[in-house]
Structure 1
Amino acid sequence: MGTEPHGHAPPKASWGTAASATLHCLTGCAIGEILGLVIATWLGWTAAPSIALAVLLAFFFGYLLTLVPLRRRGLDWRTAIRLALAADTVSIIVMEIVDNGVMLAVPGAMDAALTSALFWGALALSLLVAFLVTTPINKWIIGRGKGHAVVHRYH
């Protein structure tokens, strides 16, 4: 493996590292996804605007969970935003495609009431599948010194 520009070797791309990075990203995505779908369902929105709101909030909270610790470490906004974008974008994109795809694939899930086991079961399933699909992708990305590897030295 090569070294990063500042002489730091990329972190080891173990399954544990990949799972940890994916779980971090999934947490932000889940907050946004759940909040977005709950708001949209409560407002009676159809699938397309519901998904749009969920995806928007998933990106917001996904990046926020990376930005806050970077800012606490003293990084300026520009650097912190650049690092968050580099660390999380691919992971969030994959998760959002997968979890929204699962929600759409489960019959009735997007139209289910907030009090429905179907809604919450499909949402839990969608997040689990997103985690399982995204973890090997993150492992591959981290092993190349990209993705969450770019913020690893700030943790």
Structure 2
Amino acid sequence: MDGLQFVDGIILMWFFLTALSVLFVVVDIWKTPEETVLKWGFILLTAYIGPFGAFLYVFGCREPLPGLHEKYIATRWRQVLGSTMHCVAGDGIGILAGAIIGAVVHMGRPSEMLLEYMLGFGFGWAIFQALAMKAMLGSYKQALAKTFYAELVSMNWLMAGMMPTMMILMRSIEGADDPASHRFWFVMSMSLLVGFIAAYPINWWLVSRGLKHGMMTVRPHESMIGMGDDIPKPVAQSSVPHHAQHSENAGLEMPDAASATPSTTRMLVIAAISFAVLAAGIIFGVNV
């Protein structure tokens, strides 16, 4: 067996495990009292990163016992998981579309990277973030304005992990730059996995500063009648103020995180660092 056959064997096993993982999440997640957009986010994430996505769903979001979801997701690392997953799920669609278009029309690598960035950011920001936050912020226009910074910074770190991984693997695996090849999709899967890992720390900062929210608990109003809990309320103490329990028909409220919100100067510095990290990732991918 030559090296390429060995790689193809690994890829086949990866796709098999990914299919099982996606099937499990698709069937199971609708029993979890999570916001609908985040349910779809976990399905997409699992399609991207296979069994790692299913693992993160089970240990990061899936309700362990009835009535415990609020407390279960209140831990900071799970809130950050929800935030990062939301970013990767949305941006990933645009990035994949850009990679396919770039390959089909034979774009040069710089143009293809720019297209992937623009489509990834545009889809993640305008659809996955702003539409999801519209109910919290009152209007789509306000949601676009409020989510722009967090999406930009998170996207930069995601791409800083993805870009070099894509470039290195596509150079190393024959045929991996062809969207019609299974190797292309394996490379994109690995790249999104690395991008997820790279984006997690900045999402920790964003969530801890009240600039992004994590996971939520959504329970139908009628299921709470008689439980003394039919009024929407936060799911945790103020130490983790980045999510909310709400009824199916209740509006969402953004947490009051004014005390944690960083200054404009700090936010600009963090944004500049994110662009520097993105540039460093691209340079690394080009030169390795």
**What range is the shorter-chain TM-score in?**
0.7 to 0.9
Secondary structure of the residue aligned to 1:106 is helix
User: What corresponds to 2:200 in structure 1?
Assistant: 135
Give the Cα separation in 2 of the matches to 1:43 and 1:102. 22
Aligned length in residues: 145
Between 1:85-94 and 1:32-41, the stretch displaced more is: 85-94
With a CA cutoff of 8 Å and minimum separation of 6, indicate the structure with the bigger relative contact order. 1
Gap regions ≥5 residues in structure 1? 1-11
Given that 1:114 and 1:120 are in contact with CA atoms closer than 8 Å, whether structure 2 keeps it comes out as yes
Bigger Cα Rg: 2
User: What corresponds to 2:228 in structure 1?
Assistant: none
Given that 1:22 and 1:131 are in contact with CA atoms closer than 8 Å, whether structure 2 keeps it comes out as yes
- What is the deviation of 1:13? 6.4
Gap regions ≥5 residues in structure 2? 1-73, 215-240, 245-251, 254-288
Give the Cα separation in 1 of the matches to 2:120 and 2:184. 18
User: What corresponds to 1:115 in structure 2?
Assistant: 180
TM-score (norm: length of structure 2)? 0.45
Structure 1 counterpart of 2:82, which letter? S
Given that 2:83 and 2:213 are in contact with CA atoms closer than 8 Å, whether structure 1 keeps it comes out as yes
| Residues 151/67 of structure 1: CA separation in 2 closer, same or farther (3 Å cut) | farther
What does 1:2-151 align with in structure 2 at a 5 Å threshold? Answer: 14-63=76-125, 64-72=127-135, 75-108=138-171, 112-148=177-213
| Residues 71/141 of structure 1: CA separation in 2 closer, same or farther (3 Å cut) | closer
1:82-120 CA-partner distances (Å, limit 9, x unpaired)? 111133221111112211121112242697211223311
Given that 2:96 and 2:116 are in contact with CA atoms closer than 8 Å, whether structure 1 keeps it comes out as yes
| Residues 72/140 of structure 1: CA separation in 2 closer, same or farther (3 Å cut) | closer
Give the Cα separation in 1 of the matches to 2:207 and 2:140. 23
TM-score (norm: length of structure 1)? 0.80
CA RMSD, 1 decimal: 2.7
- What is the deviation of 1:58? 0.3
Between 1:67-76 and 1:137-146, the stretch displaced more is: 67-76
Structure 1 counterpart of 2:211, which letter? K
| Residues 13/83 of structure 1: CA separation in 2 closer, same or farther (3 Å cut) | farther
Greater helix content: 1
